[in-house]
């Protein structure tokens, strides 16, 4: 059992990890990629780096600094976070338990830019099988996705109906499924006044009664929404201690909004770590 | 206390209310609903005398859920003069809900 599991290995997550580790807390960092500090981005407004530093190098240096303190930074992708007595973090490769969780994944950069998508959100388009599946029992359902995240949702969907079709939206399928798969790109979602009824692709159209989305990798906002944390305008809402409305679940950096800057993310991580340390004492 | 709304009392509590009414569609098995529950309860105390706050259990009141085409929970609907004037899907802060209620 970890004291804190930190999701995200950017300035916010690593700063929090360093402060917690230096207070002798048992922390685990799980990071997928460099997020908005991708290759080619140069940060030239951060303290101590004349001439600037690339996003990639900044991330690498942060991870190295954490490693030197004995912090494990796993290269893995989180698929789900649940809270029962403690937090359970499920990744592609394993399952980890923590007393607290810090969401520091940064801002999502992939939204589904499909005509009709916004219109039918909550009207036949859903992002959470365990939340909304109840309304779609025995229906003809579409699941949009192509990887482990999709598979995770598919397992929940199988309790609802046998009539499932997978839409990869033009992505290569990286997992095995026993259901029909449509590989074409989706161009539009259409329907009547009240709900989505049809998925239109580059090659045809498919009648559906419900559409669930599990595309790419879930970010902090997806985890927060599922577990019941307050999300407003794609920002996770936190108090002065960077805690969400859920005891023990914290968020910091770009995920909570404000200025999307390295300095602010690092400061958020530090503040969150101090607050987490206090909570762990209780 | 938020009022438990059923199809029997829906007309008198929601449609015929002279005050704005906030209705939380929820279910016991829905994790986000469990988080919204206490927020809605607290709001109901805060707006006493200004607005009505109620809850619809979609498991027990499938007809109401159907009538308002609820396909995602939690969904919060705000009624004024018997009509839906606002709808919010997902967990929100008490301030945000109060803003939607307009009191």
Instruction: Tell me what pLDDT residue B88 has.
Output: 93
Q: Tell me, rounded to whole angstroms, the distance of Cα A135 from its chain centroid.
A: 24
CB-CB neighbors (< 8 A) of B31 in chain A: 130-131, 226-228
My answer on whether A6 and A100 are in the same domain is yes
My answer on whether A144 and A182 are in the same domain is yes
> What would the mean pLDDT of A106-132 be, rounded to a whole number?
83
Instruction: Tell me what pLDDT residue A239 has.
Output: 96
The verdict on residue A170 lying in a domain is yes
pLDDT category of residue A128 using cuts at 50, 70 and 90: confident
> What would the mean pLDDT of B49-69 be, rounded to a whole number?
95
Cβ neighbours of residue A56 closer than 8 Å, sequence gap 6 or more: A34, A37, A38, A39, A41
B36/chain A closest Cα distance in angstroms: 7
Answer whether residue A136 shows pLDDT above 60: yes
> Which of A267, A262, A275, A276 shows the shortest CA–CA distance to A10?
A262
Domain's final residue, options A179, A213, A247: A213
Range of the structural domain that residue A99 is part of: 2-108+218-281
Domain's final residue, options A213, A230, A262: A213
My answer on whether A136 and A205 are in the same domain is yes
For residue range B20-56, what is the model confidence (pLDDT) as tens digits?
A: 999 999 999 888 999 999 999 999 999 999 999 999 9
A244: tokens are: 């969400």
Residue with tokens 């101590």: A48
My answer on whether A96 and A227 are in the same domain is yes
For residue range A61-89, what is the model confidence (pLDDT) as tens digits?
A: 999 999 999 999 999 999 999 998 899 99
Instruction: Tell me what pLDDT residue A88 has.
Output: 96
Stated as kind and residue range, the H or E segment containing A15 is helix A11-22
Cβ neighbours of residue B73 closer than 8 Å, sequence gap 6 or more: A131, A132, A134, B25, B26, B27, B30, B32, B33, B58
Q: Which of A27-41, A169-183, B77-91 has the lowest mean pLDDT?
A: A27-41
Question: Using H for helix, E for strand and C for coil, what is the string for A165-203?
Answer: EEECCCCCCCCCCCCCEECCCEEEEEECCCCEEEEEECC
> What would the mean pLDDT of B80-96 be, rounded to a whole number?
94
> What would the mean pLDDT of A25-50 be, rounded to a whole number?
89
My answer on whether A224 and A88 are in the same domain is yes
Instruction: Tally A–B CB contacts below 8 A.
Output: 67
Q: Tell me, rounded to whole angstroms, the distance of Cα A61 from its chain centroid.
A: 23
For residue range A137-155, what is the model confidence (pLDDT) as tens digits?
A: 999 999 999 999 999 999 9
My answer on whether A36 and A99 are in the same domain is yes
The CATH number assigned to the domain holding B96 equals 3.40.30.10
My answer on whether A156 and A139 are in the same domain is yes
Answer whether residue A110 shows pLDDT above 60: no
The CATH number assigned to the domain holding A129 equals 3.50.50.60
> Which of A143, A99, A110 shows the shortest CA–CA distance to A32?
A110
Cα–Cα distances (Å) from A221 to A80, A229, A236, in that order, read 12, 9, 7
For residue range A221-230, what is the model confidence (pLDDT) as tens digits?
A: 889 988 999 9
B23/chain A closest Cα distance in angstroms: 17
Report ipTM (2 d.p.). Answer: 0.82
Range of the structural domain that residue B86 is part of: 3-101
Other CB atoms closer than 10 Å to residue A140's CB: what's the count?
A: 15
Q: Which of B2, B22, B23, B33 is catalytic?
A: B33
Q: What is the DSSP letter of B43?
A: H
The verdict on residue A116 lying in a domain is no
Total domains, chain B: 1
My answer on whether A202 and A228 are in the same domain is no
Q: What is the mean pLDDT of chain A?
A: 93
Domain's final residue, options A159, A181, A213: A213
Answer whether residue A109 shows pLDDT above 60: no
Q: Do residues B52 and B66 make contact, with C-beta atoms less than 8 angstroms apart?
A: no
Instruction: For an interface test with B, give the residue of A123, A134, A238 to mutate (most B CBs within 10 A).
Output: A134
């Amino acid at each position: 059992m970890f004291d804190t599991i930190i999701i995200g290995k950017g300035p916010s997550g690593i700063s929090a990890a360093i402060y917690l580790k230096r207070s002798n807390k048992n922390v685990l960092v799980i990071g997928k990629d460099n997020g908005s500090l991708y290759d080619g981005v140069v940060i030239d407004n951060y303290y101590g780096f004349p001439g600037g530093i690339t996003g990639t190098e900044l991330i690498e240096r942060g991870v190295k600094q954490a490693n030197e303190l004995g912090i494990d930074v796993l290269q893995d992708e989180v698929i789900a976070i649940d809270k029962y007595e403690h937090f359970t973090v499920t990744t592609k490769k394993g399952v980890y338990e923590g007393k607290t969780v810090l969401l520091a994944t940064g801002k999502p950069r992939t939204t589904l830019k499909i005509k009709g998508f916004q219109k039918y959100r909550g009207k036949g388009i859903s992002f959470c099988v365990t939340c909304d599946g109840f309304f779609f029992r025995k229906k003809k359902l579409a699941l949009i996705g192509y990887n482990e995240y999709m598979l995770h949702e598919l397992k929940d969907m199988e309790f609802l109906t046998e009539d499932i079709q997978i839409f990869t939206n033009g992505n290569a399928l990286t997992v095995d499924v026993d259901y029909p798969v449509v590989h074409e790109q989706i161009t539009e979602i259409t329907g009547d006044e009240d709900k989505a009824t049809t998925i239109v692709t580059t090659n045809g159209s498919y009648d559906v009664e419900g559409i669930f989305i599990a595309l790419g990798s879930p970010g902090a906002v997806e985890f927060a929404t599922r577990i019941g944390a307050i999300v407003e305008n794609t920002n996770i809402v936190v108090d002065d201690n960077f805690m969400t409305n859920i005891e023990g679940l914290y968020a910091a950096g770009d995920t909570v909004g404000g200025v999307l800057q390295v300095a602010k993310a690092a400061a958020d991580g530090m503040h969150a770590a101090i607050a987490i340390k206090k909570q762990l004492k209780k | 206390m938020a009022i438990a709304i059923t199809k029997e009392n829906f007309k008198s509590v929601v449609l015929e209310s002279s005050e704005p009414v906030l209705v939380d569609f929820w279910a016991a098995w829905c994790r986000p609903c469990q988080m919204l529950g206490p927020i809605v309860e607290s709001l109901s105390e805060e707006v006493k005398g200004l607005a009505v706050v109620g809850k619809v259990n979609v498991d027990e009141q499938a007809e109401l859920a159907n009538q308002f085409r609820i396909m995602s929970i939690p969904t919060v609907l705000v009624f004024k003069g018997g009509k839906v004037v606002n709808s919010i899907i997902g967990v929100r802060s008490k301030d945000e809900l109060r803003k939607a209620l307009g009191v």
